Amino acid sequence: MPDTTLNREFVVFQSMWAMQNDQGVLPSPLEQELTKIAEAGFDGITDHFYEPEAARELARLASGLGLQIEGQLFPRTIDDLQPALDLGTQFGCHHLTIQADVRPRTLKEAVTLVEGWQRLAGQVDFPVLVETHRYRVTNDLHFTLDLLKDLPDLKLLADLSHYVVGREIPLEPGADDQQQIEAILRNSWGLHGRVASCEQVQLPISFDQHRPWVELFRGWWAFGIQDWLGRDSVSGSLSFTCELGPPPYAITDRFGQDITDRWEESLLMKEMAQQIWADCRSA
């Protein structure tokens, strides 16, 4: 959805992890899965992007289908970021998303690590974002907010589902909860789409009983989009990834089968995200 007057656009990606079946594998060859995604109208895909051969093949196939790439990596040290930066430069990507696979006990340790990644990210001309995620450096909402106080220019990738289930945020968030989520969104330059409750990390969004949670997340995503649109001198594109993961993220029945069609729910989420963007642009 390009905005020719402000040179801004909204791009919706599909997670390759979300394409996996109940056994945690792609049900068909990569090229077929990518073709399915492209034909459904997605702008790009999200996948691991740190192994050279896998990145080369992914980039070749995605480029041929007109799909952009959100590259994911899981660094544990500052230097672990460099290979992914090199691959992004060589093969091209929309942005890289860091899931920092470390759990520092002190803010000082976290600041040192993230500052190192920021220095390295300054070498490239694509965004490098730190994802909010459980069991990562951003595991705790309050710790992440403290990190932002020390590094106010830190660019995040907001996956709010982890904070809702991790902190058991209630269906009607308190004023403090709302302010803290909004602080995360004000520092976010991309969104991952998944609806959580205070007890489940991934709810079926098509079930009527989950509609209040869907509306809560819709409101948060709208806030994040509107805030991004209101930033001075912002151009380029804002990404939203539909990330409905396979079991054990997905709720299963007694036979270990998905209780919903996650592909159909991904399409529903894509339409939802695009409508939120359109509403924000016309507001």
From the list 212, 222, 216, 213, the residue with the least C-alpha distance to 188 is 222
Structure-token pair, residue 49: 């992007």
Q: Residue 235: pLDDT above 80?
A: no
157 class by beta-carbon count within 10 Å (0-12 exposed, 13-18 middle, 19+ buried)? buried
Tell me the HSE value of 10 on the side-chain side, using a 13 A CA sphere.
Answer: 22
Task: Write the single-letter amino acid at 204.
Answer: P
Q: Using one digit for the tens of pLDDT, what is the confidence trace for 66-104? A: 999 999 999 999 999 999 999 999 999 999 999 999 999
Q: How far apart are alpha carbons 34 and 29 in whole angstroms? A: 9
The domain spanning residue 272 has which CATH number?
A: 3.20.20.150
Give the pTM: 0.95
Domain count, the chain: 1
* Strands 68-73 and 44-48, sheet pairing: parallel
pLDDT tens per residue, range 181-208: 999 999 999 999 999 999 999 999 999 9
* Average pLDDT across the chain, whole number: 96
Exposure b/e, 88-113, CB count within 10 A at least 16 = b: beebebbbbbbbbebebeeeeebbeb
Query: Does the structure show a pLDDT above 80 at 180?
Result: yes
How remote is the C-alpha of 172 from its chain's centroid? 24
**pLDDT band, residue 7 (cuts 50/70/90):** confident
What is the secondary structure of 181-212 as a DSSP string? Answer: HHHHHHTEEEEEE----SS-S---TTSGGGHH
Q: Is the pLDDT of residue 4 over 50?
A: no
Which residue range forms the structural domain that includes residue 256? 2-282
Half-sphere exposure of 243 (CA within 13 A, CB side): 22
Q: What is the DSSP string of 121-174?
A: HTTSSS-EEEEP-TTSTT-SHHHHHHHHHH-TTPPEEE-THHHHHHTT--SS--
Q: Which helix (H) or strand (E) holds 235?
A: none
Check residue 3 and give its pLDDT. Answer: 46
